[in-house]
Amino acid sequence: MHESPVSIRHYRAADLFILRQITTDSFGGVSLDMALEQKLGRWNERDWKARKADHIDDDVNQNPEGCFVAERDGEILGYITVRLDPLNSRGRIPNMAVVESARGLGLGRRLIVHALDYMRDAGMKVAQIETMASNAIGQHLYPSCGFEEVARKVHFAMKL
Ligand SMILES: CC(C)(COP(=O)(O)OP(=O)(O)OC[C@H]1O[C@@H](n2cnc3c(N)ncnc32)[C@H](O)[C@@H]1OP(=O)(O)O)[C@@H](O)C(=O)NCCC(=O)NCCS
């Protein structure tokens, strides 16, 4: 039996719950929020998953037009978010994830191509994305989509 094709569509407010869920399921080992918690322990009642999921709320509040989901038969398999800086003609992809069962099928690449087209249509001249050094897939996927490595960053933190 053939599976239905995956389509990419605009984010809708009703998607937020599942996008938060995909985020917390996906970012273990590849998120700064988790690394902070591993290093410092919890510092209030909120864990790294709650903090990471909040990034998605920020993305969809800041630029809902630039958030896209990949869907098959009504099931969301992944998403990508884009923020625009029109003054500097720069677009940024703060977050993306694909559910584990649908990885390695090219969905991540499709979402990136979609996001880049959206940025071009919006007049952006430069696209940016970043990844943790621990994220082997990101470090393979992003250059293969045309991104060039520009710089490496070191994160510091301390308990107060
Ligand atoms: C990053 C992510 C969105 C990619 O989604 P995906 O649908 O699997 O992406 P694709 O199938 O288009 O491409 C994955 C690529 O990584 C490659 N890959 C898979 N495992 C790999 C590994 N361990 N090391 C290096 N490359 C790897 C695949 O071969 C494929 O490359 P190819 O197209 O050249 O063969 C997905 O892995 C994910 O959700 N990860 C967790 C969250 C995350 O890291 N988000 C990005 C934060 S910066």
Find the domain containing 140 and state its range: 7-144
CATH number of 78's domain: 3.40.630.30
User: Residue 1: is its pLDDT beyond 80?
Assistant: no
What is the per-residue pLDDT across 99-114, written as a single tens digit (0 to 9) for each? Answer: 999 999 999 999 999 9
pTM over 0.85: yes
DSSP string, 38-107: HHH---SS--HHHHHHHHHHHHHHH-GGGEEEEEETTEEEEEEEEEEEGGGTEEEEEEEEE-GGGTTSSH
pLDDT of 72: 97
Residue 24 lies in a domain: yes
Do the Cβ atoms of 114 and 150 come closer than 8 Å? no
CA 64 to centroid of ligand 1, rounded, Å: 24
Contact by Cβ (8 Å): 91, 37: no
Give the percent of the chain with pLDDT over 70: 99
- Give pLDDT, residue 2: 64
156 found inside a domain: no
How many structural domains are present in the chain?
Answer: 1
Which residues contact ligand 1 via a Cβ below 6 A? 26-27, 30, 96-98, 103-109, 131, 135-138, 140-141, 144
149 in any annotated domain: no
